[in-house]
Amino acid sequence: MFDILDRAGRRRFYGATDLPGAHDAIEGWEYLDKIVTIDQSAIGRSPRSNAATYTDAFTPIREAFAAADEARQRGLTAAIFRSTCRASLRALRGRGRVGSGDALSADVQVRCPACHGRRFKRDVLAVPYRGSDIARVLTLTVEEALALFQTCRQLRPGWG
């Protein structure tokens, strides 16, 4: 993936100079307009970033939650469906928990006492989308998220 598809996509879309590994052909470029490579390295500058935020898939997810009846009744907009626990943002840099281990001891995870590691305020977590709250959605695999948001046009395979 990294040696062939990623390098070939970066050459095609961004003019990169790295040559892809040996391959016969890559078909289907006409269905893509960019390539986003996700590996184990940190995504973005924020510790709260994840694949959904990096690929902008989180925007339609937040919009879907904001469109829910419970969110409208509470006056919640899509913007509030970001990490909203201020205690977690200040003390734990928005991660909901922080490790305290070092090379000589076991890693001990400390959860935020306000949000219990879920990163969102109680009123935001009270808004369900097809039975899942926003914190649960962020733990889903891509396949699980696609199934949950199958009626959300912006999140269908092919992004549209």
**DSSP-H helix ranges across the chain:** 7-14, 51-54, 58-67, 69-74, 86-91, 122-125, 134-137, 142-148
| pLDDT cut 90: percent of the chain above it | 35
Strand partners, 153: none
Judged against a pLDDT cut of 70, whether residue 92 lies above it is answered with no
Mean pLDDT, range 39-46, rounded to an integer = 58
Judged against a pLDDT cut of 70, whether residue 51 lies above it is answered with no
Long-range Cβ contact pairs of 107-112 (< 8 A, separation 24 or more): 112/85, 112/87, 112/88
Q: What is the pLDDT of residues 101-127, one digit of tens each?
A: 555 555 555 667 777 777 788 889 999
Predicted pLDDT of residue 44 = 56
Within 10 angstroms of residue 49's Cβ, the number of other Cβ atoms is 14
Residue 21 binned pLDDT confidence (cut-offs 50, 70, 90): very high
Question: From CA 22, how far away is CA 155, in angstroms rounded?
Answer: 33
Predicted pLDDT of residue 12 = 94
Choose the weakest-confidence range: 17-21, 46-50, 80-84: 46-50
**Domain coordinates of the chain in residue numbers?**
1-41
For the entire predicted model, the pTM comes to: 0.58
